Every structure is written in C-alpha cells, then in structure tokens.
Structure 1
C-alpha cells in the first residue's frame, strides 16, 4: 500500500508517520505545502491513501485539487474542529482531529483497508467537501475585556471612541474620556472590527464612523479628524489613505 502525508508542520508529519508505521503500514512520501504537493502529483503515480492536513502554510489543501485530479482515498487531518464536524465523512475515508489519537488512527486506516478489500468506490467529491469549508458569515467583536488592577471590565464596542497605539501599547479610548490598555495590536483589531463602521486612518489610529464629527483639511494633502473627547494627539488621516477614507465615509 502506497501512503503519503501532506502536513506543513514537519514534526507533526514525522509523528504521524511513526504512528502509521506502528500499524504496519508504510509512508513513502511526506509533502509540506500546496505548491510542493501540486508539483509532486504532476510527476508521480498517485498513492492509495493520503493523510491530508486541511490548513497548509500556503493555503487550504483544497487548492491542490484545482490543479490535479487526485484518485487517492483521503483521510483529512485538522486542528480546527469547526472545519470537520458537519457531516464531514462523505466520500472521504475519515477525518482526524489533532493531536491525532492512535486508536482513532487505527479505526480510520482499518476502514480504508476494509473498503479496499471490498473494492468499494473511493471517489471523492471535493466540491461537496469544499462547500463545508466555505467561510460562514463573519462575527465581529462586540465587546472587549480589560483589566483594571485585580478587576475586569467589559467595554462594549459602541462605547469606544477610537483605538490608538502609543509606546508599543494599544489602547481603547471611550466616549467618557477614559483610556484602557489592551493586548490586541491594531493589525489584529483591524480584522476584528466591521469595516463599514471602523477605519484604520493611520499606523496609530482606528476610528469608528460615529466618532467622526468634524474633518479639517491638513498639511501635505492630509486630513485631520476632530474626535469628541480624545485630545492627547492629532488624529490625522495619512496621505496615502485619504482617497480611500473619503470613499469609506461616503
């Protein structure tokens, strides 16, 4: 039996290889990315069975199937159970959640060998499986938890006048003119906040639409925003973002 492993984390690939071979099976090849896998499948005979990690370093492993028609049976492996728990078994042999349990691995490989012995069809409906991985409607942050001494405080997004960075820290500034240090950098906040309501105007500030009460033309083709209570520093829309900011405001 010809088995390959596609897993971007090499230590995890080696561990899975050892576990598979402890079951008396042989892993002939280990691949670590979408690009490497596409190249390998285009040049080599396809294996009987693939252990396939879903999230690879350069994309979802489904991208492999866009370039290569794979005939092999597949056991999917994933650390993300939200990818796997919705009627996932379909035409694939099985899926395994990381860290992979030896008993579950044996059940999956036994299932594969049983299907082989019965000459059952192992065709895989990739489009049907891919649809399960289609992103659901994104849920954006509605509140933040901040630490004040030994206490915790919940701040609703609607109470936030802006986010800003200062001295390598990230802060919430609220409409009641208070500041709270948080752990999340602006780069991550930018993705956690709904784009129609929040805009990152510069490396230092993310502001909500409701805070933009006044806009003043500033030097070097920039814009200055007047916020309701934040007065510690000038809130400037960087020059390269002015056009996009105006579109966002519209």
Structure 2
C-alpha cells in the first residue's frame, strides 16, 4: 500500500509518517501545500491512500482536487471536530481528529484495508464538504450536565465548567466552585455535545472553556500552557499539533 501525507505542519506530518511505518504502511511522499500537491499529482502515479489535512498554509486542500481527478482513497486529518463530520464519513474512508491518536489511526488503516475493493467506486463530493465547512450543520449543544454525588444528582451548568478532563479512565468536570465531578461520559462523546465557540480540546486529556482562561504561557517545544481561574490539579498544555488551531479559536 503506497501512501502520501498532505499536511502543512511538518512536525505533524513526520509524526504521522512514523506512526504509519509502525503499521507497515509505506509513506512515499510528504506534501505541505496546495500548490506543491498539484504539481506532484501532475507528474506522479497516484497513491493508494492519502492522509489529507483540510486547512493548508495556502488554502483549503480541496482546491487540489478542483484541478486533479482523485484516484485515491482519503482519510482526513482535521481539527474541524465540530464541522462537517457527516460529510467526512460519507466522502472518505475515515477522519482523524488532531492530535492523532495511535489506536484511532490503526483503526482507520484497518478500515481502509477492509474497504479497499470498494474504494474505486467511491464518489467524493468535495463541494458538499466545503459547503458544510462554511455553513456547519445547526446543532443543539448541551447547556447542563449531571453528576452523581452520593444519593443525589448534581446539575452543573456548562457555563460554570472551567474544563473537562480525563483521569484514571474517568471523565471529570471542574467547576468555578473548585469542585471536580465525575461524569458518565467520555471526552470523545463530548466533542459533539460542547459548543465549539466556548470549548476547545487542547490535547487528548482536556477541553477548556474560553470564559475561564486566566493566562496563556509559552511552553517548551512550541507548546502553550493554560492557566484557569480555579482549576490547578494538573498542567493544561496545548499540544504542538493544536497550537495554530487554538490561536485561531481564540480570535
């Protein structure tokens, strides 16, 4: 199986390449922009599989396929966890949210290998995905959560939650009262329940609420550290792969 990666963040591309090598997936090329990708496709045999970032430094990666006929399967690698997931599912083998989890990557590769005989008949509707990126599907987000406290159920307003975090296989909500409540959910489930205007997933362990950020500090390896108003149980670090999207989210 020959694979290429189209990703403008070179450290992210190299990390993904290393993860794929562990899965016996041959990565032949790393491409980093729309322009570079168009030129490459014009003069090279198309790969079996493309790992495709949505937002590249010089535009949306869909612009590549406005000029090149796609003859490869696609797995999206995206930070758009609140946008167009339905279209990603319909128009690709799979999608992976950044920062990419190794187990999820393994599952996506396995899915491709199972579906490979059908890939040539896949109709990729990039216009559909682009429309949903500009006009995301209207969705009702959760305004409150419940947590069991002894024999009682505690109602927690989403506005009063400084962050959600995972610890010891549990998912917790840390509130403005300085309390931490165990919830009957996972961070993966929360991605479709939290309003993206206010909540951002900084890494695999944390979602933070923009209204409760006290300070943002430069950290090692081009990362950022977040200080919240009350929560101080653990360091909250924005992973290097998510720093750019975090800065865009802040604006």
Distance (Å, rounded) in 2 between the aligned partners of 1:136 and 1:120: 28
Contact 2:92 2:124 in 1 (8 A): yes
Query: Higher relative contact order at CA 8 Å, sep ≥6: structure 1 or structure 2?
Result: 2
| 2:52 is equivalent to residue 40 of structure 1 | no
SS at match of 2:88: coil
Matching residue of 1:20 = 20
* C-alpha displacement of 1:135: 4.1
Matching residue of 1:125 = 125
Shift in CA distance, 76/106, structure 1 to aligned 2, threshold 3 Å: same
| 2:5 is equivalent to residue 5 of structure 1 | yes
Shift in CA distance, 63/102, structure 1 to aligned 2, threshold 3 Å: same
Shift in CA distance, 104/39, structure 1 to aligned 2, threshold 3 Å: same
* C-alpha displacement of 1:127: 2.2
Distance (Å, rounded) in 2 between the aligned partners of 1:73 and 1:42: 17
Q: Which residues in structure 2 correspond to 1:94-133 (within 5 Å)?
A: 94-117=94-117, 121-133=121-133
Larger radius of gyration: 1
Q: Give 5+ residue unaligned stretches, structure 1.
A: 138-191, 193-250
* C-alpha displacement of 1:83: 2.8
Contact 2:2 2:26 in 1 (8 A): yes
Q: Give 5+ residue unaligned stretches, structure 2.
A: 138-250
Q: Which residues in structure 2 correspond to 1:219-230 (within 5 Å)?
A: none
Matching residue of 1:53 = 53
Distance (Å, rounded) in 2 between the aligned partners of 1:7 and 1:14: 9
Instruction: List per-residue Cα deviations over 1:15-64 (Å, max 9, x = no partner).
Output: 00001111111100000000000110111111110000000000111111
Matching residue of 1:77 = 77
Contact 2:34 2:58 in 1 (8 A): yes
Shift in CA distance, 112/90, structure 1 to aligned 2, threshold 3 Å: same
Shift in CA distance, 55/119, structure 1 to aligned 2, threshold 3 Å: closer
Q: Normalised by the size of structure 1, how large is the TM-score?
A: 0.51
Shift in CA distance, 103/44, structure 1 to aligned 2, threshold 3 Å: same
Shift in CA distance, 45/66, structure 1 to aligned 2, threshold 3 Å: same
Contact 2:8 2:31 in 1 (8 A): yes
Contact 2:34 2:59 in 1 (8 A): yes
* C-alpha displacement of 1:91: 2.8
Shift in CA distance, 125/10, structure 1 to aligned 2, threshold 3 Å: same
Q: Which residues in structure 2 correspond to 1:80-95 (within 5 Å)?
A: 80-95=80-95
Contact 1:54 1:60 in 2 (8 A): yes
Shift in CA distance, 52/118, structure 1 to aligned 2, threshold 3 Å: closer
Aligned CA-pair RMSD: 2.0
Matching residue of 2:63 = 63
* C-alpha displacement of 1:65: 1.1
Shift in CA distance, 54/21, structure 1 to aligned 2, threshold 3 Å: same
* C-alpha displacement of 1:84: 4.2
* C-alpha displacement of 1:119: 6.6
Contact 1:33 1:58 in 2 (8 A): yes
* C-alpha displacement of 1:129: 2.2
Distance (Å, rounded) in 1 between the aligned partners of 2:99 and 2:126: 24
> How many residues in Structure 1 have an aligned counterpart in Structure 2?
138
